[in-house]
Amino acid sequence: MIYKVQVNFSKDFLEINNDQISIGIKSKPIKGEANKEIIRKIAKYFSISTGAIQIKSGHKTKDKIIKIS
């Protein structure tokens, strides 16, 4: 499944609407920490392993495309 992800900083939430995920994270976008938190939160929401989630594009932007296997 492919999802579009929009990231907000300094907030803590996760909302899913069809193929769109809005997520709030507390981590700073330094050395991939923000991306790791995004993957952890989505994995926890879907009750899957973090290895099943890939960021396909947008590694350095607030708008990302992720793939869940």
Q: What is the pLDDT of residues 1-17, one digit of tens each?
A: 999 999 999 889 999 99
Q: Judge whether 38 and 47 are in contact, CB under 8 Å.
A: no
Domain extent at residue 42: 2-68
Q: Judge whether 43 and 49 are in contact, CB under 8 Å.
A: yes
Provide the pLDDT for residue 31: 92
How many C-alpha atoms does 46 have within 13 Å on its Cβ side? Answer: 18
Taking the model in full, what pTM does it have?
A: 0.92
Q: State phi, psi for 3 to the nearest 5 degrees.
A: -130, 145
Provide the pLDDT for residue 19: 94
Q: State the maximum Cα–Cα separation within the chain, in Å, rounded to a whole number.
A: 30
Provide the pLDDT for residue 37: 96
pLDDT tens figures, 14-56: 999 999 999 999 998 899 999 999 999 999 999 999 999 999 9
**In CATH, what number is assigned to the domain containing residue 61?**
3.30.1200.10
Total domains in the fold of the chain? 1
